[in-house]
Amino acid sequence: MRDLKMMTYGEAIREALDDALAQFPDMLLIGEGVPDPKTIFGTTQGLREKYGAERVLDMPLAENGMTGICIGAALAGMRPVLVHQRIDFALLSVDQLVNNAAKWHYMFDGQQKVPLVIRVIIGRGWGQGPQHSQSLQAMFAQVPGLKVVMPTTAGDAYHFMLAAIADNNPVLFIEHRWLHHIIGEVDKQAPAAGLDGAAVMREGRDVTLAAFSHMSIEALKAATTLAEHGIDAEVLDMRCVSALDIESVAASLAKTGGKLLIADCAPEMASSGHQLLSKLVLAHGDSLKQAPRLIVYPNHPVPTSHYVANHYYPGAEQIASAVLEMLGRSELTASVIGALQSDLPKDQPDRSFVGPF
């Protein structure tokens, strides 16, 4: 039986944490701000009251030490979920994540395990600036032993969070701040998710858009407007960064005539798109019939000033323009871009989002 509810991505995270705390008595939820009045943008709201201060708690500003402490607790049988409000803060914990969490099961020959979830949020807009808006997913996905996921929809956020907590390995769970307010369907009765596989967000036959996290939303926006102009784009959400689902991309390309556009919320040199392309070419060298396109951020940090930062981030307009170029339909560009343009300030995802965030 389906138990379909509409909720925001942020609410889905909260629901998943709530249900996991109920399901796993050994789960701990810890992070800077977890029980504070703002409760990590509302995603941990009410959980301390429901499950107690011993299981839902704040922490000292010691990201590396606390990561190690959570690894130690995991070795002793707990299931800690450690939250960083920005992925940038997780850089302080790279020693523990890379040297210990990712390798522990391997280096002790399978005798010990580290069931640990690190929740991190990519910031954007309202002047987040160089140290509150980095996209480090590809870097973390280069570490054998670490699972890295970036769910895009509310449904995936719910099921991936539960799957990550149930998993006996360290999982880096990356949320984009601009996904938190987006409403989607959550079916709690749906079968448990694995932490692998791409999701088909929209079926199409003219071009394959393989996108990551918030860029999947932008790709979907582009595809919706392109459809109004008779162009049928398939959108794949590459939600599992450390286990890129090349097979789904190749299957899509077989339908769309080998035309691929990748959209990633990361600077070009830090994009998982490169790995996706490389793996695709190595495994399915004949799947591409045309030079692929990569829509990514520039290779420099994002500045704080919204006057310039607004020009840093590509989105649906750039994706749609590139698709039209690939299909030789540039005559439609003005009309498509016109339809996609909005008077919403570009450092704000939605009118409901009011700074600071």
Any idea which residues carry the catalytic annotation?
63, 132
DSSP states along 36-98: STTHHHHTTTTHHHHH-TTTEE---S-HHHHHHHHHHHHHTT-EEEEEESSHHHHGGGHIIII
Pick between residue 46 and residue 144 the one whose CB is nearest to another protein. Answer: 144
Binding site for another protein (CB under 8 A): 28, 54, 59-60, 62, 64-78, 95-96, 99-100, 104-115, 144-145, 147, 168-169
Q: Which amino acid is at 179?
A: L
CB of 149 to another protein, least distance (A): 14
Enter the DSSP assignment of 98: I
CB of 59 to another protein, least distance (A): 8
CB of 169 to another protein, least distance (A): 5
Within 10 Å of residue 235's Cβ, how many Cβ atoms? Answer: 28
Q: Residue 86: name the closest of 123, 32, 43, 136 by CA.
A: 123
Pick between residue 69 and residue 227 the one whose CB is nearest to another protein. Answer: 69
Pick between residue 29 and residue 219 the one whose CB is nearest to another protein. Answer: 29
CB of 72 to another protein, least distance (A): 2
Within 10 Å of residue 139's Cβ, how many Cβ atoms? Answer: 16
- Distance (Å, whole) CA 76 – CA 59: 19
- Pair 195, 163: CB distance under 8 Å: yes
Pick between residue 77 and residue 191 the one whose CB is nearest to another protein. Answer: 77
